Amino acid sequence: MTELIVCLSSGKGSWNYIARLIKEESWDNVFLITNDFGKENFKADNAQFIVVDFKKPAVELIKDIQQQLKGKIKAIEVAINLISGNGKEHMVIISALLKLGLAIRLVVVGESGVTEI
């Protein structure tokens, strides 16, 4: 399949959605970009947590995400989902992935399974 990167932050109902997204496909790897609260409270057996402090300035967050993902992603393209979180969190994730030289495809899960948008 491919590797999935997800923003796991705040958002009413978004954690259930993310759990379904993870289970719906046979992902090669799943990376959840989250904070300490997300790591402690979200249960996902087949996911790796990329723990950051979302209160940091954007430039620092980008570097933190890059450092934690560097060398872990095998593909040149990743699937991403940003249903959870806010604009700043979404921007730093996209920036970090692009700075790592990765192509991205946005994915959602619906009645017919996972779909690229």
pLDDT in tens, 28-84: 999 999 999 999 999 998 899 999 999 999 999 999 999 999 999 999 999 999 999
The model's confidence at residue 88, banded by pLDDT at 50, 70 and 90, is very high
End-to-end CA distance of the chain: 17
pLDDT value of residue 45? 86
Residue 57: partners with Cβ closer than 8 Å, 6 or more residues away: none
Q: Could you tell me the fold of the domain covering 3-116?
A: Rossmann fold (3.40.50)
